A and B are shown apart, each in its own frame.
Chain A
Amino acid sequence: MAYEGVPGLVATKEAFGETTLVVDAARLVEACAHLRDEEGFAFLSDLTPADYLGWGELGVAGYLGTSAGRDLNAPGSQGRARLPEPKPKRFSVGYHLLALTDPPRRVRVQVWLDDGEDIDSVVPIWPTADWHEREAWDLMGIRFRGHPNLVRILMDDDWEGHPLRKDYPVGGEPVRFSGEE
Chain B
Amino acid sequence: MNGHPIRDEDFDLYALGALEDDEKRAIESHVAACSPCAGKLAEARGRVALLAFAAPVVDPSPRVKQRLLEQIRSASEDHPAERARGASERPGGFMGRWWTAALVPAGVVLALAAIFLWKEDARLGKELAAERAYIERMQKELDGVREVSALVQDKDTMTISLAPMPGMPQGTAHVFFNSQMGKLMCDGAIAPAPKNMTYQLWLVPKQGDPISAGFFDAATGEYSSWMATVPKGVAPMAFAVTIEPAGGMPHPTGPKVLVGRAS
Pairing of A with B: no
Q: Write the residues of chain B forming the contact surface with A, with a CB cutoff of 8 angstroms.
A: none
